[in-house]
């Protein structure tokens, strides 16, 4: 005995509505198609499933007896479809990774390149977020993994330090200290510091000002865009401000700007974050790949010209 899922679906639709027209509407097909599928099922089973008249439709005893089984069969088919979809997602697994600007500059491109060789079957969707937005992306489920700096720990997330990088000063190529092998921040005198609003990432902001204070500098802060080197970078290029940036961002400074190590050797962390309880194999594989990459050294900044 052979019958199709489509025939069972037509039977169930009519049986639960006792109306061929409404059953057809629910299946988005014509009434004649529903009638044909029910007739074929009755022929396959050798049973009449409905008593039909010009005014009404009613289940026969056989139809009423088979309705619970038909309902269970359709539910199982739905479960099967969902499992197949899940298996497909697992096979072509997608992992969403949010990264702050400096991580997008150097770390994420290296991760995506490594993933081509080491993470077969996994697609990493990278999401660029502003400084301070990693936690929001994780909390809203926009991202599975976050990479940034001075991430705020909390009960819903786990964080760990991937590596530490030297802090560099971004200066105009016209500044008298341009081309120096290193710079003491106190040498910058009255030059303002271009920085994002503190509310974007208070811990990061405070760290940078503390680094200045430790080096004998109390700079006037020019509040700009959230990115260290962003739309107001012309202020640095024109020698009207300086910036502070991680070593991995040195290669993406704008024309007229060079990045020079700070003589005190201050470093800052690059951190990894993920949700507590994360157990999806694809996410765990990407987490481990991120850790491996974090153990490798960041590319050194290009020498000042």
What is the CA 260 to chain-centroid distance, rounded? 32
pTM: 0.65
SS3 string, 226-260, reads: CCCCCCCCHHHHCCCCEEEEEHHHHHHCCCCEEEE
pLDDT at 135 over 60: yes
pLDDT tens sequence across 198-223: 888 889 999 999 999 999 999 999 88
pLDDT at 305 (0 to 100): 45
- Over 80: is that where the pLDDT of 49 sits? yes
Residue 42: alpha-carbon gap to chain centroid = 51
In this structure, which CATH number among 3.40.190.290, 3.20.20.140, 2.40.30.10, 1.20.1260.10 belongs to the domain 94-295?
3.40.190.290
Cα–Cα distances in Å, from 35 out to 26, 71, 112? Answer: 14, 19, 54
- CB neighbour list of residue 97: distance below 8 Å, 6 or more residues apart: 108, 111, 124, 125, 126, 127, 143, 144, 145, 146, 147, 286
Residues shown for the chain = 305
Tell whether the model's pLDDT for residue 304 goes beyond 50.
Answer: no
- Tokens for 121? 């079957």
133 vs 167: CA distance, rounded Å: 21
Torsion of CA 229, 234, 237, 238, to 10 degrees: -150
Q: What band does 249 get if pLDDT is binned at 50, 70 and 90?
A: confident
**Tokens read off for 162:** 């991937």
DSSP class of 69? H
170 has a pLDDT exceeding 70: yes
Residue 299 is predicted with a pLDDT of 57
Q: Residue 26: enclosing H or E segment and its boundaries?
A: helix 20-27
**Residue 197 pLDDT level (bands cut at 50, 70, 90):** confident
Residue 301 has pLDDT above 60, yes or no: no
pLDDT in tens, 61-111: 999 999 999 999 999 988 887 777 666 555 558 899 999 888 888 889 999
Task: State how far the Cα of 236 lies from the Cα of 25, in Å rounded to an integer.
Answer: 66
Q: Is 296 helix (H, G, I), strand (E, B) or coil?
A: coil
Spans of all domains in the chain: 5-90, 94-295
- The proportion of the chain whose per-residue pLDDT surpasses 70, expressed as a percent, equals 91
CATH pick for 5-90 out of 3.40.50.300, 1.10.10.10, 1.10.940.10, 1.20.140.10: 1.10.10.10
pLDDT for the residue numbered 102: 81
**pLDDT for residue 57 is more than 80:** yes
The rounded distance, in Å, linking the Cα atoms of 266 and 244 is 11
**Bridge partners of 59?**
50
pLDDT averaged over every residue in the chain: 87
Which residue, chain included where needed, has tokens 């995506």?
112
Most confident of 17-26, 83-92, 121-130, 162-171: 162-171
Quick check: helix, strand or coil at residue 260? strand
Do residues 269 and 163 make contact, with C-beta atoms less than 8 angstroms apart?
yes
CB 33, CB 42: distance < 8 Å: no
Residue 40 confidence class, pLDDT cut points 50, 70, 90: very high
Query: Reduced to 3 states, what is the DSSP secondary structure of residue 289?
Result: helix
3-state secondary structure of 146: strand
What pLDDT does 160 receive? 94
Query: How much is the pLDDT for 54?
Result: 67
At 54, list the tokens: 């010009």
């Amino acid at each position: 005995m052979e019958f199709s899922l489509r025939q069972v679906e037509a039977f169930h639709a009519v049986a639960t509505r006792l109306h061929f027209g409404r059953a057809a509407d629910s299946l988005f097909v014509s009434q004649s198609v529903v009638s044909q599928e029910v007739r074929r099922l009755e022929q396959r089973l050798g049973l009449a499933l409905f008593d039909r008249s010009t005014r009404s439709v009613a289940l026969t005893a056989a139809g009423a007896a088979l309705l619970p089984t038909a309902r269970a069969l359709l539910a199982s088919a739905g479960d099967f479809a969902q499992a197949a979809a899940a298996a497909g997602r697992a096979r072509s697994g997608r992992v969403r990774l949010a990264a702050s600007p400096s991580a997008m500059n150097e770390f994420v491109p290296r991760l995506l390149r490594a993933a081509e060789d080491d993470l077969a079957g996994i697609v990493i969707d990278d999401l660029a977020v502003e400084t301070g937005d990693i936690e929001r992306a994780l909390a809203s489920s926009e991202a599975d993994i976050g990479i940034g700096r001075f991430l705020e720990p909390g009960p819903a997330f786990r964080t760990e330090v991937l590596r530490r990088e030297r802090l560099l000063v971004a200066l105009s190529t016209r500044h008298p200290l341009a081309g120096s092998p290193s710079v003491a921040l106190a040498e910058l005198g009255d030059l303002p510091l271009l920085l994002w609003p503190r509310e974007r990432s208070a811990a990061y902001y405070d760290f940078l000002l503390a680094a200045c204070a430790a080096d004998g500098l109390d700079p006037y802060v020019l509040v700009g865009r959230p990115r260290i080197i962003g739309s107001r970078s012309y202020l640095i290029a024109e020698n009207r401000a300086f910036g502070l940036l991680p070593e991995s961002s040195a290669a993406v400074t704008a024309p007229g700007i060079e990045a020079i190590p700070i003589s005190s050797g201050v470093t800052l962390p690059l951190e990894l974050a993920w949700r507590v309880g994360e157990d999806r194999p694809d996410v765990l594989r990407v987490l481990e790949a991120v850790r491996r990459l974090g153990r490798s050294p960041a590319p050194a900044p290009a020498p000042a010209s």
